[in-house]
Structure 1
Amino acid sequence: MRLLDRTLVIVRHGQSLDNERDLFSGIRDPDLTARGVEEAEIAGNRLRELGFSFDLAFTSELLRARRTTNLILSALGQSALGIRRSSALNERDYGELAGLNKRESQDRWGSEQVRIWRKSFDAVPPGGESLAMTADRLIPYYRDEIEPQLRDGKRVLLVAHGNSLRALIMYLDQIGADEVAEVHLATAQMQAYHFDDQGKVIAKQSIIVKITDKTE
């Protein structure tokens, strides 16, 4: 595959300790598990196999995303690449749900209410952020800091979180609040976007990462 300029690859971080325990993380700061490290390394190797390289990288302030970024760049042989970090790319704040597992949350608030908080665009978990609020901080950062790089012909890596990336996908794919409920990125899942010189998406591809489950 011949890589176009003006390319953005988005990656969800590898499995975290909270993911392993099925906990809501939000702005908690767990590290990667051993599996998460493997996922990030496999993602980087897959990008290398496909001929990807980058001019700069963006990530959040949270450890699981920062480590994933570093592991991917190491696999690409680009450990010295400049990385820009911002809390605007952090996971959504889950408020009182943070640190609870899904079953505990459902027992406390009911399964339907928890589903609404997780999947809807506007619902706000107690003390936390809705997806809409996450988009309100992420999209201006994307427009101000990342989009200009793409218009200038740069190839950009962005490593972030399930919900912050859902907000970005909603913007890039121009999908509505109802449709975003069906958007989900697994850990270390990747998508590539290619843009014209005005910052408009002209092509999109999913990049498949195969992780062997050693428990099977």
Structure 2
Amino acid sequence: MPKLALVRHGQSEWNLQNRFTGWWDADLTEKGEAEAKKAGELLKASDADFRAAFTSVQIRAIRTMWLALTEMGRAWLPVEKDWHLNERHYGGLTGLDKAETAAKHGDEQVHVWRRSYDIPPPPMETGSEFDLSTDPRYDGVDVPATESLKLTLERVLPYWNDTIAPVLQSGKDVVIAAHGNSLRALVKHLFNVPDETITGIEIPTGNPLFIELDDDLKPVSVQYLDADRGKPLPELP
């Protein structure tokens, strides 16, 4: 049975500052680097034989993967980077302090933007200092102005089906270092989590969610490798 590890990147500079990050390229903090290394230690101690690695094109996820693979003794492993695994785009909220945003718009409205399944935040204005439409890593990509979790799933799922799933079906164990919402989208798909409850699934930074899959890529077991920092697990389908 193939094994899949989902690793949310370590704490980023904007996580620490409590800012909406989305597609902006905030780097890891010192704590985030330590979390990534710890994830690597936990993955090395697991019974998986990782032979394929995937991450986004955002520095916090890329460096989390580098640090984890180094701790695993697998720095030689090829890593595929793709924007489809990027964090959800927070639109016009990008760069804003979460507490200040709640004070301005109200806790209820900010909760809707953050935690509803299909309601996106306000779109980012063209020409914003956080506009990445001309960033070379997105050449040929129609960079979104905002995304809900539903829209995030709609871009993550084809990449999963076309690129990652075939690797798992070939029998290889896979590690993915990505983001809270792109991983949440994968969890929704794998565990058939309902729309109304998926936003309550919280994946801690740097704590691998370790999943055993059957030959049809249905989960047969799931656990956090660091049980002390685990959150409630999705139910097996």
- Is 1:94 the equivalent of 2:90? yes
For structure 2, list consecutive stretches of 5 or more residues without a partner in the other structure: 124-145, 230-237
Kept in 1: contact 2:35–2:207 (CA 8 A): no
Question: Which residue is 1:46 aligned to?
Answer: 42
1:66 counterpart residue number: 62
Residue type of the alignment partner of 1:18? W
Task: Give the total of aligned pairs.
Answer: 207
* Match of residue 180 from structure 1: 198
Equivalence for 1:197: 215
Q: Is the 8 A contact 2:66 2:75 kept in 1?
A: yes
Identity %, equivalent residues: 40
CA positional deviation for 1:108 = 2.6
Aligned to 1:116: 112
Output one character per residue of 1:67-113: Cα deviation in whole Å (capped at 9) or x when no partner: 00000000001101010011000000001111111112112321101
Q: Could you say what secondary structure the match of 2:196 adopts?
A: helix
- In the alignment, the residues of structure 2 paired with residue 118 and residue 210 of structure 1 have an alpha-carbon distance, to the nearest angstrom, of 26
Give the C-alpha shift of residue 53 in structure 1. 3.2
Q: Which one of 137, 160, 163 corresponds to residue 145 of structure 1?
A: 163
Alignment of structure 1 residues 30-45 onto 2, 5 Å: 30-45=26-41
Q: Do 1:53 and 1:76's aligned partners in 2 also have CA atoms closer than 8 Å?
A: no
Residue 6 (structure 1) shift: 1.0
Compute the displacement of 1:186 (Å).
Answer: 1.6
Equivalent-residue separation in structure 2 for 1:199 and 1:106 (angstroms): 40
Name stretches of at least 5 consecutive residues in structure 1 with no aligned partner.
212-216
Q: Distance in 2 between matches of 1:144 and 1:98?
A: 30
Moved more, 66-75 or 162-171: 162-171
2-side partners of 1:114 and 1:9: how far apart? 31
The residue that corresponds to 1:28 in the other structure is 24
The Cα of 1:210 is off from its aligned counterpart by 5.9
Please list the CA deviations of residues 147-183 of structure 1 after superposition, one character each: whole Å capped at 9, or x if unmatched. 1111110100001001111111111111101111211
- Counterpart CA distance in 2 for 1:205 and 1:35 is 23
Output the CA distance in 2 between the equivalents of 1:37 and 1:181.
Answer: 26
TM-score by length of 2: 0.84
Question: SS at the partner of 2:216?
Answer: coil
Give the Å deviation of 1:52.
Answer: 3.3
Task: Flag the 1:31–1:136 CA change in 2: closer, same or farther, 3 A.
Answer: same
Given the alignment of the two structures, is residue 78 of structure 1 paired with residue 74 of structure 2, yes or no? Answer: yes
CA distance in 2, matches of 1:126, 1:112: 15
